[in-house]
Amino acid sequence: MNNNSLSTYDFKEGEVLLFEKPLSWTSFDLVRKIRSLIKRKLNIKNIKVGHAGTLDPLATGLMILCTGNKTKEIEKFQATEKEYIADIFIGATTPSFDLETEINNKYPTKHIDLELINQIVNSFIGKQEQMPPQYSAKRIDGQRAYKKAHQGIEVEMKPSEIEIYNIEILNYSFPDLKIKINCSKGTYIRSLANDIGKKLNSGAYLSGLIRTKIGDFKIENAIQISDFKNSLFPEDTE
């Protein structure tokens, strides 16, 4: 997205906007912020703004936001292939499968080497059933699963069919593993990290995550929220 062209955009008719979600923001935080800025710019009370795929608060990277009539295309973008760069900590687990919760168990790691990691990681390529984390945005009995999990309520999650097209090991320096994943809609990278730990006869959790691609859209073309605001309201920076 070209920052200089924002003034020519028709947000009511519909635009597809690429943003880099900040750390600790929810996907809905981003939607609310961008909707608020557009409403202020157009001096209107409301406008349709939606995102094409959730990112967890502790993840960063590419998010697609659609405005106006372009919100009708959200499902099309959601269905496309995703690419992530994931940091995985080997030898421990957390209830949320990431750093949202504290470590609850530690596991043996002396048997783990790069050869074993290669073997295990590659075994996840292909179609499979994946169990979503209890700390997820899945709806259970009308309520988000993570809300029940935070209340200490045990939630019965149902597996989803996903596909992992490719996994590449970018770096391994015990206990830290960095991988690149190309996968289908609905894939939880936190669950993948947890499952890798189990297959290693140990434990693992997600320590960092960046979404780098959604279909043909790349993180390199995304805009920061501050740049979007400054483009809409240059007078605020004077």
Which amino acids are annotated catalytic? 56
**Shortest CA distance to 130 belongs to which of 211, 195, 205, 207?**
195
pTM higher than 0.85 for the full model? yes
Check which CATH number belongs to the domain holding 154 and give it. Answer: 3.30.2350.10
> Does residue 104 share a domain with residue 205?
yes
Give the domain extent around 122: 82-213
Mean pLDDT of 18-42: 96
- Name residues whose C-beta falls within 8 Å of residue 92's C-beta, 6 or more positions apart in sequence: 103, 105, 106, 107, 203, 204, 205
d(Cα 117, Cα 97) in Å, to the nearest integer? 18
Give the angle 36-38-43 at the CA atoms, nearest 5°: 95
> Does residue 222 share a domain with residue 180?
no
Confidence of residue 134 (pLDDT cuts 50, 70, 90): confident
| Residue 167 · residue 139 · CB < 8 Å | no
> Does residue 87 share a domain with residue 72?
no
Q: Which residue has the tokens 């259970």?
A: 140
Cis peptide before 175 (omega within 30 of 0): yes
User: What pairs with residue 158 in β-bridges?
Assistant: none
From the DSSP assignment, how many helices (H) and strands (E) are in the chain? 6, 13
pLDDT digits (tens, 9 = 90+) for 69-102: 999 999 999 999 999 999 999 999 999 999 999 9
Q: What percent of the chain has pLDDT over 90?
A: 81
Mean pLDDT of 192-215: 98
Q: What percent of the chain has pLDDT over 70?
A: 87
If one counts the domains in the chain, the total is 2
pLDDT digits (tens, 9 = 90+) for 161-188: 999 999 999 999 999 999 999 999 999 9
How many other C-beta atoms are found inside a 10 Å radius of the C-beta of residue 157?
A: 16
| Residue 15 · residue 66 · CB < 8 Å | yes
> Does residue 228 share a domain with residue 207?
no
> Does residue 198 share a domain with residue 86?
yes
- Provide φ and ψ at 92, rounded to 5°: -155, 165
d(Cα 112, Cα 233) in Å, to the nearest integer? 54
> Does residue 228 share a domain with residue 188?
no
**Helices 189-199 and 114-122: crossing angle, nearest 10°?**
130
Strands (E), the chain: 16-21, 49-51, 59-67, 82-90, 92-93, 105-106, 126-130, 139-140, 143-144, 160-173, 176-183, 204-214, 217-218
Check which CATH number belongs to the domain holding 69 and give it. Answer: 3.30.70
pLDDT reported for residue 28 = 94
> Does residue 189 share a domain with residue 90?
yes
> Does residue 125 share a domain with residue 58?
no
> Does residue 204 share a domain with residue 143?
yes
User: What pairs with residue 125 in β-bridges?
Assistant: none
Evaluate if residue 20 carries a pLDDT over 50: yes
